[in-house]
Amino acid sequence: MSRKQAGKARPGKAETERRRDERAARRALARERRNRAPAEGEGGLAGQLQALGLRLREVPGDGNCLFRALGDQLEGHSRDHLKHRQETVDYMIKQREDFEPFVEDDVPFEKHVANLAQPGTFAGNDAIVAFARNNQVNIVIHQLNAPLWQIRGTDRSRARELHIAYRYGEHYDSVRKVNDNSEAPARLQTEMLCKNESNKKEKIHLGKKEEEEEEQGSAEETQDEIEDAVQKVRNATGCLDADLIAHILEAEDYNIESAIFAVFQMNEVKRLHAEEAQEAQANRQKLHSRPALWEENGSGARIFGSQDVENNKPQASPAEGKQANAKQQAPKVSNKQKKEQQRLEKKRRQEDRHRQKVLAGRNNNADNNKNETDSELQVTLVKTFAALNI
């Protein structure tokens, strides 16, 4: 092998340093496990987490433990802890006015961030806040026999959470699901149960009589709301049939505006049908009526006789007879009625399209929420009864 090929085969300086760092981390972690085994007593924080379906994923206590634990939560491994450290320091420098007041008085801010940028330097709460804001996440800290600490880096609802454990007053570890041994990002989400649990306890202490009264009151409130909606539709449309309005409200999911439109549409259809029936009746009367001249006592009948008149009428061909019968059976519709029918039909189609869009939007939102949940690899809810927010 030539020198050139041997140089290419050898790993680079950065890769060599990374491997050396990982070997040192594994040795440090092994020493800590031997030394810290009895420190928490039986159960300890591990038992506390196990009751929530969680476990510790330990990281070496080499001064980089905070960024290792956060990197494991964010990316699924702790190999990029130096990158996370530098990004956190850069953010603190950019947002100096937010972090400088919390630096110890005898240490200048420049020296504080310069020290924090060095590998192996212990990082504290200011670094956790900076990391959370820079990555737009919330960080949840588990401690033995203590409420959860929640450090909020964003106000977005359902923001991603990173769960870490603080132990021995100096060390951070990553928190995972019990059976999660993968190198995938952790997906944990807290679930506040304080309010739910208090409601459950109150319901247990309620007697049957109070529960019945509560149900009855709820039913009365619902009935009052329905009656109020019926009255509003009645005032808007002038329809006096309360049962019909109630039925339309139920079909329209108690949307008052939709119910009013439906009542107007039904009244319009009824009016058109009535006008069509009247016009058809008038047309039939015209077709069957005879001119006054040829009525029984008219001049034509007196002169020629009714029989002659009938005989003198031109005989219609079979085709003409069919056309005449068809005209008699199909009532004429005026242009105004045609336009009105077309307008109502167009309005109905628009309403149907609007409803389909609304339903499609709801289905799309549900599908998007489902896809989001699936993409996050089944977020695990962590039950907690108390939490402190920062």
Same domain flag for 237 and 125: no
Residue 124 has pLDDT above 70, yes or no: yes
Domain that holds residue 108: 3-189
How does residue 41 score in pLDDT terms, banded at 50, 70 and 90?
Answer: very low
Backbone Cα Rg of the chain: 41
Whether residue 177 is contained in a domain is answered as: yes
Q: Per the residue annotation, which of 21, 65, 81, 173 is the catalytic one? A: 65
pLDDT digits (tens, 9 = 90+) for 285-319: 766 555 554 455 555 455 445 544 444 444 545 55
Same domain flag for 81 and 160: yes
Same domain flag for 160 and 41: yes
- pLDDT value for 38: 46
CATH code for position 110: 3.90.70.80
- pLDDT value for 375: 47
Q: What is the mean pLDDT of the chain?
A: 75
Same domain flag for 21 and 101: yes
Spell out a b/e string for 140-151, using b for 16 or more CB atoms within 10 Å of the CB, else e: bbbebeeebbbb
Whether residue 370 is contained in a domain is answered as: no
- CB 26, CB 60: distance < 8 Å: yes
Distance CA 343, CA 318 (A): 38
Whether residue 273 is contained in a domain is answered as: yes
Who wins on pLDDT, 35 or 63? 63
Whether residue 146 is contained in a domain is answered as: yes
Predicted TM-score (pTM) of this structure: 0.49
Task: Enumerate residues 6+ apart whose C-beta is below 8 A from 142.
Answer: 45, 48, 49, 54, 148, 163, 164, 165, 166, 175
In the residue annotation, 65 being an active-site residue is answered as: yes
Same domain flag for 241 and 95: no
Same domain flag for 127 and 225: no
Residue 9 has pLDDT above 60, yes or no: no
Chain centre distance of CA 191: 17
Same domain flag for 143 and 262: no
Lowest mean pLDDT among 101-110, 130-139, 205-214: 205-214
Whether residue 163 is contained in a domain is answered as: yes
Lowest mean pLDDT among 174-188, 226-240, 349-363, 365-379: 365-379
Same domain flag for 157 and 223: no
Number of structural domains in the chain = 2
Distance CA 280, CA 210 (A): 64
- pLDDT value for 42: 43
Residue 113 has pLDDT above 80, yes or no: yes
Residue 241 has pLDDT above 70, yes or no: yes
Whether residue 277 is contained in a domain is answered as: yes
Q: Per the residue annotation, which of 84, 112, 142, 171 is the catalytic one? A: 171
- pLDDT value for 313: 47
Same domain flag for 111 and 226: no
Residue 195 has pLDDT above 50, yes or no: no
How does residue 78 score in pLDDT terms, banded at 50, 70 and 90?
Answer: very high
Same domain flag for 221 and 164: no
In the residue annotation, 62 being an active-site residue is answered as: yes
Distance CA 263, CA 202 (A): 45
Same domain flag for 86 and 181: yes
Who wins on pLDDT, 106 or 27? 106
Q: Is 72 left (phi over 0), alpha (psi -120 to 50) or beta?
A: alpha
Q: Per the residue annotation, which of 62, 80, 90, 98 is the catalytic one? A: 62
Who wins on pLDDT, 245 or 376? 245
- pLDDT value for 312: 46
Same domain flag for 178 and 211: no
Q: Select from 290, 306, 323 the last residue of a domain.
A: 290
How does residue 66 score in pLDDT terms, banded at 50, 70 and 90?
Answer: very high
Share of the chain above pLDDT 70, in %: 61
> Three-state DSSP class for 72?
helix
Whether residue 252 is contained in a domain is answered as: yes
Q: Select from 222, 256, 290 the last residue of a domain.
A: 290
Dihedral, CA atoms, 126, 127, 133, 135, nearest 10 degrees? -170
pLDDT digits (tens, 9 = 90+) for 252-295: 778 887 778 777 778 777 777 777 778 777 777 766 555 554 45
Q: Select from 290, 314, 344 the last residue of a domain.
A: 290
pLDDT digits (tens, 9 = 90+) for 338-375: 777 777 787 777 777 766 766 666 565 555 555 554 54
DSSP 387: E
- pLDDT value for 165: 96
- pLDDT value for 326: 47
Whether residue 150 is contained in a domain is answered as: yes
- pLDDT value for 105: 74
